[in-house]
Amino acid sequence: METRSIKRLRQRQGSDNKKTNLMDVENDNLVDIFSKLPAKSLIQLGCMSKTLSNIVSCPYFVKQHMHFLTATNAASEVPRLMVVAQSKNRYAGELTVLQSLQYGGTSLEKSRHTIVSKVIFRRQNYSFDLEFLFCNLICLKDSNYGYGRRCLLLNPLKAEAVILPVDNTIRPDVPANPISKSYEYWYGMGFDNANNKYKIVRVFGYRFGYDFGYTGYKYLVSHVHELGTSSWREIDSVPPRKITDKKVSAYGDMHWLTTHSRRVREDIFFYISILTFDFNKEKFCWNIPVPPSSRGPRNFPPVERFQLINLKGSLSLIDASSDKYLEIWMLNNYDEKEWIFSYRIDGSAFIAACPYRSFRFWTCGEWEHGIFFKKSDCTTLDLIFLDLRSASINCVECPVSKRGLHTSVLSYTGGLISLRSYGNLVEPKTGSRDLNAFSNLWKFD
């Protein structure tokens, strides 16, 4: 006859041998576990069951995942490539095509079973240009409408698009009919992890005169838009210096590479710096010093030879100021503002087909195992891929290339953000299915 203690032992052994199902875990624990996973893994999990799909697509969880992603590098995403091809025809309208690419180490090809997003603008008063990239969201700015006041926010992976709110408020110190070529809007996007909100900053300013051969800028007013609301809110902070097109999102904030000059007697010296918009505090600040080797004065405009990218989840500075080598610095700790000297690539290692002195002025981005270079906003077909594991160089041709197309290659990360949770979507036309891709089309007349 079994004693009570033996029965309890048998029951305990039976419970230990029973397999635990993932769905037996409480939802709060699942959210905590899932928030530390990359978006690609979460999307795959969502395909396993309806319950898991509801968890990973819930707006609350998406914000929790973004909160963890911006606070640490533990869930850093593997970067993916996308080509943005634009044809601008004064009479036929404008076409913007976005399609994912895949680099296999020897060639660059269109990704199979991807989504091709096409945006067609029929009227001549549209002229959309790429403004910023945030995770899986792309912003196109209409430079012909109110100096860039109208913007289209796209999620090409989920075939979603929203038009950002347009306001007609202009400050009293702005002329009633300013010249459109002199006035402009600048945008950037980030995540306020103190309040778990996605925000877009907008700066309005104008160009004036020339400062040692460079156009000067005066910034009049800044606004912040919280995704999901219908208005812009004015803030007190404006950029203290000229901001450039070299910007990147990292740690939930937006960072611009800036330059300023100093005249010493008859000589002019140039310096670079990093301007950050803190979305938690909603202010522009100089809280990131540049790496030690980049702080000294130079007798040439240095901003052309530097790039800001997000490399392996860290803000990184590509220093091509030397004629002999390329240096890469990575911000190891965002709170302590500690830079780490990570790579130095000898210029002699580059092949004759892609000389270092030529492409170091091109724009660059991140791919899975290194960085790539592409001449910005032109019909150049070649891209330079640098593999940081072996310091090997490869020159490849962009597969989306036609005469008259202006192509840009972007580095983006898969994200869980769905614009469906933040406003009225501009629904695309019915998608068509071809051999390798689904196509979504937006038309604006």
Going by C-alpha positions, the residue among 311, 76, 109, 285 that lies closest to residue 201 is: 285
**For the chain, what percent of residues have pLDDT higher than 90?**
16
pLDDT over 80 at 30, yes or no = no
Rounded Cα–Cα distance for residues 275 and 186 (Å): 14
Rounded Cα–Cα distance for residues 285 and 54 (Å): 39
Bin 377: left if φ > 0, else alpha if -120 < ψ < 50, else beta: left
> Are the beta carbons of 126 and 120 closer than 8 angstroms?
no
Q: Which of these ranges, 276-290, 315-329, 348-362, has the smallest mean pLDDT?
A: 348-362
pLDDT over 80 at 277, yes or no = yes
Instruction: Quote the pLDDT of residue 435.
Output: 40
3-state secondary structure of 421: helix
pLDDT over 60 at 17, yes or no = no
User: 79-93, 153-167, 204-218 — which one is most confidently predicted on average?
Assistant: 153-167
Query: For 49-127, where are the alpha helices, taking DSSP H only?
Result: 50-57, 59-71
Whether the predicted model's global pTM rises above the 0.85 cut: no
92-119 pLDDT, tens digit per residue, is 455 677 788 888 888 888 876 666 777 7
> Are the beta carbons of 369 and 49 closer than 8 angstroms?
no
Average pLDDT, the chain: 76
What CA dihedral angle connects 275, 341, 80 and 62, to 10 degrees?
A: -60
pLDDT over 50 at 15, yes or no = no
Reported confidence tier of residue 415, pLDDT bands at 50, 70, 90: confident
Rounded Cα–Cα distance for residues 87 and 72 (Å): 39
120: which 2 tokens? Answer: 């067609």
- Cα–Cα distances (Å) from 145 to 150, 161, 243, 344, in that order, read 6, 18, 21, 44
Burial of 194 (0-12, 13-18, 19+ CB in 10 A): exposed
Q: Which residue has the tokens 């995942």?
A: 65
pLDDT over 90 at 191, yes or no = yes
Ranges of each domain in the chain: 4-71, 80-444
CATH placement of domain 80-444: 2.120.10
289-318 pLDDT, tens digit per residue, is 888 776 666 655 567 788 899 998 889 999
